[in-house]
Structure 1
């Protein structure tokens, strides 16, 4: 394994969390290097963010493959070439198959904009808003191949106030993501994460 902790980020869209992670590696908040962006949309803004940061991108068109396993095998080979230690999903809008999940069990994480197991799946912020809960938040969890079903690593609560709108709630959720996700990634880089079944501990 390479001496520097090496990260691959999977993203499909704007790349705001990707940018936060890049900046955290640059300012020393995360003692690691992002060595690869994996993206399923060639025109996604996150690709340009990676280019500006000098980070290699692996961009693919899922429609060019007969099934998900085919392109995931190619991604897996690229991850191995880059000697990736941790896979970080940051707005990657595709379910993963065992081709990748099994290779990176315990070393693949995702962030979800709710306090799981509440409001899994798409539009979690909108789901919480429509339901009328008073507290929602974000969850960083291990990836197990299900829809937001992996073991919880960390959560951060976000209060929904009477004066909030859906837009202001989204802003608060995104601010919480930018605070928590780099912290959790740094725990992996420092080898502080211990997993036993569904119980995840931070050994500080």
Structure 2
């Protein structure tokens, strides 16, 4: 079967109705971003549309030139710059991140294009509440340049994954995935653009799913 750019099937799993992802109490999300922040904006828009019951009291970015700052200003989300170059160790950066998030009563940490390796300090402060998104169908193509890795490997399907973060890069329990077929004439740019469309679909849903899973786990224990 040959796919054209105008008719490319995409598959999301698990497929859940909005009713199943409805949250009774709003989540307090702390966002980490290093780049343009398109996934961050998608989350904000989902909140505005009442598709995700949450609020974002603070966004932390580590690159002074990151365009996410301008995006956050337009969306009226408070920001703080924590330039990783000003910290001697990764642990020092994560200590400051935890401090800022705790000051803002953050409950969940959302890595929306956060290009830094995290440490136990962040994970222990927010156990099972750090969420990451990656442009591949994990566990395939971890790390940087995941789109280029997929093209070089010659696979016919790639996609994106939202998962709970762990110490191993791009690992941890998977929350939601979307598959994206690779076209014969794809470039890293065209493929990444189509993957990003799916990222924008699943990220808010996966955040709600993680919160629902955590709530259900607490109820089972109690």
Give the structure 2 partner of residue 95 of structure 1.
117
In the other structure, the counterpart of 1:52 is: 74
Q: d(CA) in 1 for partners of 2:138 and 2:67?
A: 28
Residue 108, structure 1, aligned to residue 108, structure 2: no
- Describe the SS at the equivalent of 1:25: helix
Q: 5+ unaligned residues in a row in structure 2: which ranges? A: 1-24, 216-222
CA contact (8 A) 1:105 1:144 kept: no
Of the three residues 50, 74, 85, the one matched with 1:63 is: 85
**5 Å matches for 1:15-164?**
15-164=37-186
In structure 2, C-alpha distance between the alignment counterparts of 1:100 and 1:165, rounded to whole Å: 35
Shift of 1:159: 0.8
| Matched residues, number | 191
| CA shift for structure 1 position 165 | 3.4
Counterpart-to-counterpart distance in 1, 2:214 and 2:75 = 31
Instruction: Specify which of 26, 30, 48 is matched with residue 8 of structure 1.
Output: 30
8 Å CA contact 1:29, 1:186 repeated in 2? no
Shift of 1:186: 2.4
RMSD over aligned Cα atoms = 1.5
Give the aligned partner of residue 213 of structure 2: 193
TM superposition shift of 1:168: 2.0
Partner of 1:201: none
Report the Cα offset of residue 182 of structure 1.
Answer: 1.1
Task: Give SS of 1:193's match.
Answer: helix
What is residue 198 of structure 1 aligned with on the other side?
A: none
5+ residue gaps in structure 1?
196-204
Tell me if the contact between 1:25 and 1:34 (Cα under 8 Å) persists in the aligned partners. Answer: no
Q: Which runs of 4+ in 1 moved over 6 A?
A: none
TM-score of the pair, normalised by structure 1: 0.88
Deviates more, 1:107-116 or 1:162-171: 162-171
Would you say the 8 A contact 2:111–2:131 is kept in 1?
yes
Distance, in Å, in 2 between the alignment partners of 1:143 and 1:60 is 20
Distance 2:84 2:141 in 1: 27
